[in-house]
Amino acid sequence: MIAGLIGSVYSKSGSSVLFNVNGVIYEVFMSLNSIANVKDNDTLLITQITREDGIFLYGFLNKSEKDLFDTLIKINGIGPKVALAICSSFNPSEFINIAYTNDFVSLKKVPGIGEKMAKRIIVELSGKLESIDNNFLPQHKSQAIDALESLGFKRADFIKIIEESTLSNTQDIIKEALKKLK
């Protein structure tokens, strides 16, 4: 199983990158954001999907986008193309905010997702976002989230406050959030 690739960009297309690794060129499907930012000597984190019609590689420049993709493809009815469309439309932080605030309207703007699918995605992800969430946030913000949840606050009520905070101390972030929540 391929877990990652380090190499150079051979060429780019609308939905994939041909990635040269020591003379072997792999076709790696990526989000539009990742395609725009991939450079030579980058490390791509890979999700390999094997089906009857082939072996497909999906590449990501950061772990949070890969975690989001891996979580999305586990939802019944969401394939790699729709998961990549979501990753192309939103970064993990934006998507998590959409999921926590039940913003079906924004999710419906993604090609291939209707209202019914958007609602199902939100419902099925309700308990699975913590692993993605904790991967893209610095540790002090992640600790603040855990503390506020243990105090009984709902994540949807304070997640945006935590994300936008410029403070670097867990206690200060908690105090700031508590002031804004009152």
Q: Strand 54-60 relative to strand 24-29: parallel, antiparallel, unpaired?
A: parallel
If one counts every other C-beta atom within 10 angstroms of the C-beta of residue 170, the result is 18
Q: What is the pLDDT of residue 45?
A: 95
Which superfamily does CATH assign the domain made up of 63-129 to? Answer: 5' to 3' exonuclease, C-terminal subdomain (1.10.150.20)
Which are the contacts of 175, defined by CB distance < 8 A and separation ≥ 6?
A: none
What does pLDDT average to over the chain?
A: 87
Tokens standing for residue 128: 């699975």
Q: What is the CATH number that goes with domain 137-181?
A: 1.10.8.10
Q: What is the pLDDT of residue 135?
A: 55
Type and span of the H or E element at 100: helix 92-100
Distances (CA, A) of 12 to 121, 132, 165: 30, 27, 36
Q: What is the pLDDT of residue 16?
A: 95
Kindly report, residue by residue over 139-174, the tens digit of the pLDDT.
777 788 888 888 888 877 887 788 778 888 889 989
CATH topology agreement for domains 4-60 and 63-129: no
Q: What is the pLDDT of residue 130?
A: 59
Q: Is the domain covering 4-60 a CATH 3.40.120.10 domain?
A: no
- The pTM assigned to this predicted structure is 0.74
Domain spans, the chain: 4-60, 63-129, 137-181
| Residue 135 buriedness (CB in 10 A; 0-12 / 13-18 / 19+) | middle
Kindly report, residue by residue over 87-145, the tens digit of the pLDDT.
999 988 788 878 877 888 999 999 989 999 998 898 888 666 655 555 556 677 778 88
